[in-house]
Amino acid sequence: MMAMAFDEEVDLLVIGAGAGGMTAALSGAIAGLSVLLCEKTGMVGGTTATSGGTTWVPGTELSHRAGVPDSAEDAAAFLRHVVGNRGGDARREAFLAAGAKAIAEIERHSEVRFVAAAAHPDYLDGPGSAYGGRALAPVEFDGRLLGADFDRVRPPRDVFMGLGGMMVGRGELGALLAPFASASNMATALKILLRYARDWLGHRRGTRLLMGNALVARLFYSLRRREVPIWFDSPLTDFIRDGQAVIGAVIETPQGLRRIRARRGVVLATGGIGWNRALRERLFPPQIAPFSQAPEGNSGDGIALAVERAGAALDDGCDSAGLWMPCSLLGRPDGSQAIWPHIILDRAKPGLIAIGRDGRRFVNEAGSYHDFCMGMIRAGLSEAWLVADAGFVRRYGLGLVLPGGRGLRRLLRQGYLQRAGNLVALAAAIGVDAQGLAESVQANNRFAETGSDADFGRGSTVMNRFNGDPEVKPNPCLGPIRQAPFYALRVVPVDLAGSGGLDCNADAQVLDREGRPIPGLYACGNDAGSIFRGTYPGPGTTIGPAMVFGWKIARQLAKRG
Ligand SMILES: Cc1cc2nc3c(=O)[nH]c(=O)nc-3n(C[C@H](O)[C@H](O)[C@H](O)COP(=O)(O)OP(=O)(O)OC[C@H]3O[C@@H](n4cnc5c(N)ncnc54)[C@H](O)[C@@H]3O)c2cc1C
């Protein structure tokens, strides 16, 4: 080691500028460490920037402030129920023990701000499940504060922006779609549109940042204020080792290769499996689409390099190596593909079923996106169809078709969804069994009358009903499908995050194949195997642990002295 030459020396070297990496870097700087953050692309944010930004951290002070007090003990009971005996308990305990402290400290010493949602239920019912307080929403951020750095914030995916570059919050969509429905709708719509019009004068997109974009911009702004160096276009290409220990890394910068010594540790936060073909083939089931929702720069570098060059062990994610969303696809004239994840807007609304090629249902469609896709995997389905009638599409929209049926004609022309005057013709148009479809619709219509889905329990959980239509009785998730024309939209399961990753212990140290910590090597975010072992307990359960472990790594290393 004495003979090794380094171009740079820092306490903490962080690889990847998403939620995990930026939190580790920021927390390191807060704790007084010298930090270097290396990012492969020209922008911060990774998948985090394109996400909902919801951050699941139980028992925070924010939950009390929001009037929905939550506790780590309740969350522990809930996780025992959801995760059961799948192992990894020590990491979940470490997450729960650190969570509230991590969020409080980050908020106190930076520009990162959250509010606890009073109503954003966990994805499953059980002892200790929460209706609100646990899912933290990043507070809106004014991108203009970043000055020229605003262009370094990865924009949301274009399907999530209105008018070519405007972010719209979950609660604002209704006002924008129906501005004349009430005075408050009009006021909201005007406020959003006027701000966006002003942004057009000086920016390439709207500067009113929400959700994942707000979280990333707040982390970035905080890093800039603390003058933490960020190297852009600078991917990790190798580790520098001294025996078993990782003592630094080789970074490929626009000026050439740089060897960085990391006195206390190297943190991997490169966003997980993402587009890495070898890892996908090894770990993902064959039903999963051959593309990811992560930006293409997320090519599994951290995991692959740690396994190949540092002797790290791979964690297969237990129940599932990925976390999934059912997505519909639209081929664009330029050959690209728009991917629309069906997260909350349509699947749980009354009057929709999902079927496989046999025309039959296979899952509770109103469950979480991950559980919906796990249903597909269990049934051996690589594609499924969401089926609804004319009234449903008009009222709720369907995928890219907005409520009121906006965009419907164009999207039909583009082959995004299919329409037919009766169910037999619809079955023929999409190539599914007509008898199966007819029987599934008949059963659905019976269930809509009784309010009870005898086959899959649609509308039976708190989260199901939260995403349903409260005006529909007796079950807000059940409604008839009978008003022609009928529609079918194809969905495929796509990863939103890895659940498999590097095998880590409760201190976020990466483990070798004998289960021993590799000195100097840490992982957070999707580079680390998920602490929820392939289950998806609630909204924000990837970013929550990414931030908490990012904070914990920096804190530990600062204390070590
Ligand atoms: C539509 C959608 C909505 C979602 N909503 C939520 C939500 O609300 N809440 C939630 O918890 N999860 C959500 N997720 C999942 C969540 O976005 C990710 O799990 C999370 O953002 C991953 O964070 P990360 O820090 O691990 O990686 P990322 O945010 O992807 O960051 C990784 C960074 O590492 C960089 N990188 C890659 N390779 C290298 C290299 N070799 N060297 C240097 N840098 C490198 C990448 O360029 C990238 O900037 C959503 C996902 C999708 C697709």
How far is 553 from 11, CA to CA, in rounded Å?
A: 12
Alpha carbon of 323 to those of 8, 82, 513: distances in Å?
37, 15, 24
> Best substitution site from 13, 530, 543 to test ligand 1's pocket, by max atoms within 8 Å of Cβ?
543
pLDDT at 154 over 80: yes
Percent of the chain whose predicted confidence (pLDDT) is above 70:
99
Residue type, 382: S
Q: What is the mean pLDDT of residues 162-185?
A: 81
How far is 327 from 320, CA to CA, in rounded Å?
A: 18
How far is 526 from 523, CA to CA, in rounded Å?
A: 8
pLDDT at 190: 84
Contact partners, residue 187, CB within 8 Å, separation at least 6: none
Give me 216's structure tokens. Answer: 């990333």
How far is 302 from 37, CA to CA, in rounded Å?
A: 14
Query: pLDDT category, 162, cuts 50, 70, 90?
Result: confident
> Best substitution site from 15, 23, 40, 51 to test ligand 1's pocket, by max atoms within 8 Å of Cβ?
51
How far is 263 from 84, CA to CA, in rounded Å?
A: 39
Q: Which segments of 84-130 does DSSP mark as H helices, in order?
A: 89-109
Residue 546 Cβ < 6 Å to ligand 1: yes
Q: Higher confidence at residue 479 or residue 561?
A: 479
Residue 499 Cβ < 6 Å to ligand 1: no
Q: Higher confidence at residue 154 or residue 160?
A: 154
**Structural contact between residues 109 and 558, judged by C-beta atoms closer than 8 angstroms:** no
pLDDT at 3 over 80: no
pLDDT at 59: 98
Q: Residue 58 C-alpha to ligand 1 middle, in angstroms?
A: 21
pLDDT at 388: 98
pLDDT at 2 over 60: no
Q: In this structure, what are the phi and psi dihedrals at residue 2, rounded to the nearest 5 degrees?
A: -55, -35
Dihedral (Cα; 174, 176, 178, 180), 10-degree rounding: 130
How far is 532 from 83, CA to CA, in rounded Å?
A: 6
pLDDT at 561: 67
Query: pLDDT category, 548, cuts 50, 70, 90?
Result: very high
- Structure confidence by residue, pLDDT tens digits, 76-95: 999 999 999 999 999 999 99
Please give the number of the atom of ligand 1 that sits closest to the Cα of 157.
Answer: 1
pLDDT at 18: 98
Q: What is the mean pLDDT of residues 4-12?
A: 94
Lowest mean pLDDT among 40-49, 185-194, 533-542: 185-194
Residue 298 Cβ < 6 Å to ligand 1: yes
Please give the number of the atom of ligand 1 that sits closest to the Cα of 251.
Answer: 42
Please give the number of the atom of ligand 1 that sits closest to the Cα of 44.
Answer: 49
Any idea how long the chain is?
561
Query: pLDDT category, 248, cuts 50, 70, 90?
Result: very high
Q: What is the mean pLDDT of residues 421-431?
A: 98
pLDDT at 13 over 80: yes
> What's the distance, CA 251 to chain centroid?
28
Cα distance from N-terminal residue to C-terminal residue, the chain: 21
For all residues of the chain together, what is the average pLDDT? 96
Q: What is the DSSP letter of 154?
A: P
> Best substitution site from 22, 47, 288 to test ligand 1's pocket, by max atoms within 8 Å of Cβ?
47
